[in-house]
Structure 1
Amino acid sequence: MVRSTPPIDTPINMPINTPTYLRLRDQIRTDIEDGCWRLGQHLTLHELSVHYSVSNVPVREALLQLQGDGMVDMRMNKGAVVRAVDARFIDEYFDVREALQSMLLSRACRAAWASSAQTLASVTALLRPLEEATRFGRVRELLAADEALQAHLGYLGGNDQALRMQASRGRLLEAFRRARVALWAPELEILVVQGEAMLQALRHADPVIAGEAVRRHVAASRAYMTRLLKVPETRAPK
């Protein structure tokens, strides 16, 4: 039976009795991604308390959670700084992403249901919007479709801890990307090609094909994000 992809750590999925600091953690994380708080920005406890209409206590706890996720760096008695994305961050992130994605897709290929009609249909359905966005050069749609496809492929690997490790840092990279213009680049055309290769890897239950497809996909994504380092930040991150 194919696994369906659930959202990870989103407020809508939280039980009604979830502690305030956890709800606040997710809200701040979403606001960083949406550009409300910029990468590299210093956030004080007072500023966040006023903005979210809560006391300093849940704010501090939320920031400690986000520090554990790698999204902020705490400052002694001074709040926190949202982590910036630079060339080193991009290189380290994609080194880890390649290792995790290769492992997850290889696990999916070895699963008994990897080449089932239901599994292949679920992946094919996610490939279609990626193909369409590539055909018409719609950058933001392309990247969103690719992320949805990769999230689903990763979930098929059946290792939720690996997905969570990748997701938290990925939110910072998403904030970085959204804060810049939707730049078209040749690397983007490779994403759909390697997505189709990943589908073939599942169809043939072949971890070798899977590993090579992941390697090429990650190389293209890394090149694109590195290219964006030279693009000025806008004030319309969405």
Structure 2
Amino acid sequence: MVNREVRLDLSKSVAKIAPLNEPTYLRVKRAIIGDLVSGNFTPGTHLTIETLTSRYAVSHMPIREALRQLEGEGILISIAHRGFRIEALTETYIRNIYDIRVGIESMLAHRAVEMATEIDIAALRQMHEELNALIRSGKPMVASQENIAFHQRIYGIANNPEAEQILEGRTRVVRTVADSLGGYTPDVFDVVIAEHEKIILGFESRDPEAAGQAVFDHVSAARDRLLRRMAAK
């Protein structure tokens, strides 16, 4: 059962270093995933809007939206007129999501190199350099949002909205898990930057195979980093 007496101040959680304009429901969503990862919530836990409103000290509306998204991502199961039940956030689930990601993202990177203009490539290089500074800035949630924008810019060049839609629907939850664990940490700054650099070099050398492989390696490494952090947590 959820402890109804515990109240968490989202402004004092990891969300405090999120972008200032981040919607409250995203902070709630991260908090729910954080409670799941940390063991405060366990698979089978019954959640209600009233319980979560009390726990996170926010109104019903952001709670409802956070629950709706987590249901769509397979983390929660709706119970008619009784709230939601938490499903297991297992290693197998995470690996399956990353299998989807690595296939689609490497394909989109390959296609993007084939379609990119010189302006596209210059813009990606600039985004990469700006992201590097953010990663090292000590603002992991801000860097996380810019990282999403960086990858979305790459995949947008490929002009395959159907693939992007599938990708987005299956990756929100793993992003939320990563953010709930604190986002980028100093021990991975240089590693992530180097992985992104290989992707950019694939574009600059007009080598679709190299870019696709760089994305494959980057997403696979991100999976392994996330699983290690979940296990440590």
Q: Same fold (TM over 0.5)?
A: yes
| Equivalences for residues 1-238 of structure 1 within 5 A | 28=25, 30-35=26-31, 38-39=35-36, 40=41, 42-44=46-48, 51-52=59-60, 67-111=71-115, 114=116, 116-133=117-134, 136=136, 138=138, 140=140, 142-181=143-182, 184=185, 188-232=189-233
State how far apart, in whole Å, the 2-side matches of 1:217 and 1:155 are.
18
Instruction: Give the secondary-structure state (helix, strand or coil) at the position aligned to 1:130.
Output: helix
Q: Which runs of 5+ in 1 are unaligned?
A: 1-11, 13-25, 233-238
CA shift digits 1:64-83 (9 cap, x unpaired): 67533434322244222355
State how far apart, in whole Å, the 2-side matches of 1:143 and 1:65 are.
19
Amino acid at match of 2:82: K
Q: Which has the higher helix share?
A: 2
Instruction: Give the secondary-structure state (helix, strand or coil) at the position aligned to 1:80.
Output: strand
Taking only aligned residues, the RMSD between alpha carbons, in angstroms, comes to 3.5
Amino acid at match of 1:52: H
Instruction: Give the secondary-structure state (helix, strand or coil) at the position aligned to 2:77.
Output: strand
- The change in CA–CA distance for 1:69 and 1:78 in structure 2 (over 3 A counts) is same
Amino acid at match of 1:204: S
State how far apart, in whole Å, the 2-side matches of 1:184 and 1:125 are.
23
State how far apart, in whole Å, the 2-side matches of 1:122 and 1:196 are.
14
> What is the TM-score when the length of structure 2 is the normalising length?
0.67
Asked whether the equivalents of residues 113 and 207 of structure 2 are also in contact (C-alpha less than 8 Å), the reply is yes
- The change in CA–CA distance for 1:186 and 1:48 in structure 2 (over 3 A counts) is closer
* CA positional deviation for 1:229: 0.8
State how far apart, in whole Å, the 2-side matches of 1:98 and 1:220 are.
10
Instruction: Give the secondary-structure state (helix, strand or coil) at the position aligned to 1:124.
Output: helix
Asked whether the equivalents of residues 146 and 191 of structure 1 are also in contact (C-alpha less than 8 Å), the reply is no
Asked whether the equivalents of residues 63 and 74 of structure 1 are also in contact (C-alpha less than 8 Å), the reply is no
Amino acid at match of 1:97: R
Asked whether the equivalents of residues 104 and 157 of structure 1 are also in contact (C-alpha less than 8 Å), the reply is yes
> What is the TM-score when the length of structure 1 is the normalising length?
0.66
* CA positional deviation for 1:188: 4.7
State how far apart, in whole Å, the 1-side matches of 2:61 and 2:210 are.
51
* CA positional deviation for 1:121: 1.7
